[in-house]
A and B are shown apart, each in its own frame.
Chain A
């Protein structure tokens, strides 16, 4: 008998369609009340993972459990425990916002009066009360997406699965959605959200799993992943650009193994990948000793973009596409 540990437990999950392998031995554990960001490019297997966890797709191999229930063997309690929202606003256009939510509430096995009360509550929280009795066909794209997320929450699920919830949203709607995810986390909901955007994962998630080609390449807190790259970036701008060539050799041994000091003559700036925590103080001391005057010095952590690039060997998606017309 399996003993319950984490809300989401995925072990060695494999999903293949014919000759295409969408998930290739993916394993992941997500603790209660955590927001985990599953980060990866298109085709990495993010949506497939969400489909398996929401019982829409049977895996070819491995196991997945939600709140201790196997998604294949015992799907009903899994469906009772989850809320699903995604990049397609899966709501009925001809029904009003309230009717959509009441229906989902009833199908989540709430009694009629409770479903009605809960729908009103969720509409209020998502700032849709004013539009509650209008048909969804008249809603804007952002409102529809909020209603979709509201539908995912109507049954008060302890686990929420969000498949690229902000893809195609305008910046304001995206910001609103982020606020809602923060509130959910504070209320103790376990949230798995997939995204192509590093910024979003960094902003929302306590843990990030970077996936590509159906496996987890790295998993940890954003800080751990950034630290995993091992080097910070030190930028030194000199007051006199002509002193660049004199300064560079002085800092050469601060550069991390296999890297070199990179001069940028037009900016009068040196860029060095460093691993010593005292690198900036040391650089200042040395330059000061030779009377080379420093205009600015900056030590930065690598971004998640750098993490992603170093793990996958390719960059993530470009900027968010404009809202698609549906």
Chain B
């Protein structure tokens, strides 16, 4: 049974039904994304350009001490790619709002959360592929993570969890601004400071006071440092601390996104 009746006589969907609907909507989204090949290519182009730019142009001028710059850089780029991958969530939702597809979905006997879960989970699946490609690109330009495979796998999962959390933040922004162009610019407004004023590309020791203070408390710094710890064995924040951060962000932004979805 997929529909239960509550004590007050209302009908509601069982969790099994919500999962089934989410699964149908994940399949829908994956099909849609995979049928836009140019879109997938472009999602790789930008991070690859960043790799080449920092590895071969800026890298020589950045002092990362005993760590080779390419090893320092790749965890940063991979985390940045995860954030860019998450930006797509909000953009896609504003497109669906504009085309009336969201109205159709909301008029169907499904849970509201299934629509958002369908989108965020599908974007997560796409991000698995994007991040695998970025890892291969890293290996090609000389990235040599020196830690055992379980530690590298943990780093990979951590980045995926981070991209999933950012998908919800991006969903909330997209559903609040409701317009694809605005969502795009709004996305870059918060993503650029967040990724560059962090330890992703350069050590934060060299940054001036206020910027450095921001970078030290930036969750991107936290995640990038944790990934460096897991891949390079550098001193790093405890993974549990990062997970608590991510869980807290999820607790704030999932309800915000669902609320914005109800209102949109």
Contacts and interface: CB of A to CB of B under 8 A. Distances in A.
Contacts, number: 75
B24 A107 contact: yes
A80 B10 CA distance: 13
A90 B101 CA distance: 5
Interface string A124-141: 000000000001000000
B108 A92 contact: no
Contact of A90 (B32, B35, B99): B99
Interface residue tally on A, bucketed by range:
20 to 34
B108 A107 contact: yes
B102 to A, nearest CB: 8
Contact of A107 (B12, B31, B32, B110): B110
Interface stretch (A32-40, A98-106, A241-249): A98-106
A94 B13 contact: no
A323 interface: no
Interface residues of B, number: 27
B104 A76 contact: no
A84 B103 contact: yes
A99 B32 CA distance: 11
Contacts of A80: 109
B217 interface: no
Given A74-B10, A76-B3, A109-B2, A91 B101 contact: yes
A95 B107 contact: no
Contacts of B25: 107
| B12, B13, B100 interface centre (most CB from chain A within 10 Å) | B100
A109 B18 CA distance: 11
| B12, B28, B32 interface centre (most CB from chain A within 10 Å) | B28
Nearest to B104: A90
A73 interface: yes
A80 B100 CA distance: 19
Contact of B107 (A77, A82, A88, A93): A82
Contacts of B21: 107
Nearest to A86: B100
A155 B108 CA distance: 9
A99 B31 CA distance: 10
Nearest to B114: A107
A76 B100 contact: no
A74 B13 CA distance: 12
Contact of A55 (B11, B17, B99, B106): B106
A108 interface: yes
Interface in A61-101: 73-74, 76-77, 79-80, 82, 84, 86, 88-95, 99
Interface in B1-37: 2-3, 9-13, 17, 21, 24-25, 28, 31-32, 35-36
Task: Tell me the dominant secondary structure on chain A's binding face.
Answer: loop
Interface string B192-208: 00000000000000000
Contacts of A261: none
A250 interface: no
Interface string B99-125: 111011111111000000000000000
B206 to A, nearest CB: 46
A107 B21 CA distance: 6
A76 B13 contact: yes
B16 to A, nearest CB: 12
Contacts of A88: 99-100
A67 B141 CA distance: 65
B13 A90 contact: no
Given A95-B31, A135-B35, A56 B109 contact: no
Contacts of A73: 10
Given A76-B13, A77-B11, A92-B101, A106 B24 contact: yes
Contacts of B100: 86, 88-90
B11 A108 contact: no
B207 to A, nearest CB: 43
| B17, B35, B108 interface centre (most CB from chain A within 10 Å) | B108
B101 A104 contact: no
A79 B105 contact: no
B2 A151 contact: no
B13 A151 contact: no
A159 B28 CA distance: 26
Given A74-B10, A76-B11, A109-B109, A95 B32 contact: yes
B126 to A, nearest CB: 14
Contacts of B9: 74
A104 B12 contact: no
B108 A108 contact: yes
10 contacts: A55-B107, A56-B106, A56-B107, A80-B109, A90-B100, A90-B103, A94-B35, A94-B36, A135-B35, A155-B108
Given A95-B31, A107-B24, 15 more contacts: A56-B107, A74-B11, A76-B3, A76-B13, A79-B109, A79-B110, A82-B107, A90-B100, A92-B101, A94-B35, A99-B28, A104-B108, A108-B109, A109-B3, A109-B109
Query: Top 9 nearest A-B pairs by Cβ distance?
Result: A90-B100, A88-B100, A79-B109, A90-B104, A94-B32, A84-B107, A94-B35, A54-B107, A80-B109
Interface of A: 54-56, 73-74, 76-77, 79-80, 82, 84, 86, 88-95, 99, 103-104, 106-109, 135, 151, 155
Interface of B: 2-3, 9-13, 17, 21, 24-25, 28, 31-32, 35-36, 99-101, 103-110
